[in-house]
Chains A and B, each alone.
Chain A
Amino acid sequence: MHGFANPARFLRIARWLMPLCMGAGIVVAFGALGWGLLAAPAERLQGETVRIVYLHVPAAWLGMAGWMGIAVASFTELVWRHPLAGIAARACAVPGAVFTAVCLITGSLWGRPAWGTWWVWDGRLTSMLVLLFLYFGWMALSQASEASDGGQSKAPAIFGLVGAVNIPIIHYSVTWWNSLHQPPSITMGKSAMSGAFLWPLLFAMLGFTLIFGGVVLARMRAILANQQAEARLRRKALAAGDL
């Protein structure tokens, strides 16, 4: 893993991996959405609204995975001081926040016909909303750190680690507290869902995960390129005696 911490080596890999993830992700995710929307059956109790699951569940998974990415990158940055770890954390924030927002909105749109309400302040929904606010806070802190000391501050990394406490709360909220939200249908190695719903859902999760990976790699390339441009311009200004 330390080998990939070299920005030049990372860029060599990201140049072919990013379009591969993005292209494969778009084909698999949108194919799975088409499958779920047009070919998968309606569910016995929920009827047609079950089709929202093919968007809602991948969005929920990636909202949480985004923060786990921030937490792992933050830990790596604090312990091993990898040059790319802080960049990886920054790259995870926007896609993680977007998928968390999509999860909340699609959940609300599912809740209205299924439960008769747009929103309830129960454990699962509230902890997911807290995750969205954590993303906003992390992005603000990261930008402030970048503006004040060029990203040298440890505050975003510490915030990233502390915020990870919310992930098991989201996961176990439906078993710890009474909730309108159903308990997990897919757990390690087994599923309560029929194959007719499970397969398009698994493909949608795979596709959106590949898109997420592609977006993170594109963001990392953008952040690295901006840093390199700024460093070069600063060196030139120094050499010219402007600074």
Chain B
Amino acid sequence: MREAMDPWTFIAASYAIGVGATVAMIGWSLLSMRRAEKRRDDARKR
């Protein structure tokens, strides 16, 4: 017999992982872009 499972635990975990990964990826891509463009601008000024 299968135990009853609370679906909201699985839904909450899915949303936490999906949204967390998306936000982290957006943050990382913007940060690495800003760092790279600053590095290029600094190289131009030198």
Contact = CB atoms under 8 A, between A and B. Distances in A.
A225 interface: yes
Interface in B9-36: 10-11, 13-15, 17-19, 21-22, 25-26, 29-30, 32-33, 35-36
Contacts of B21: 98, 101-102
A231 to B, nearest CB: 9
B25 A47 contact: no
Range class of the A interface residue count: 35 or more
B19 to A, nearest CB: 7
Given A113-B5, A229-B40, A52 B14 contact: yes
Interface string A199-243: 000000000100100110011011101101100110010000000
| B interface bracket (residues with beta carbon within 8 Å of A) | 20 to 34
Interface string A41-68: 0000001110110011001000000000
Interface of A: 22, 26, 29-30, 33, 37, 47-49, 51-52, 55-56, 59, 94-95, 98, 101-102, 105-106, 109-110, 112-113, 116, 208, 211, 214-215, 218-219, 221-223, 225-226, 228-229, 232-233, 236
15 contacts: A22-B30, A48-B11, A49-B7, A52-B11, A102-B17, A106-B14, A109-B10, A215-B25, A218-B29, A222-B29, A225-B36, A225-B39, A226-B40, A228-B40, A229-B43
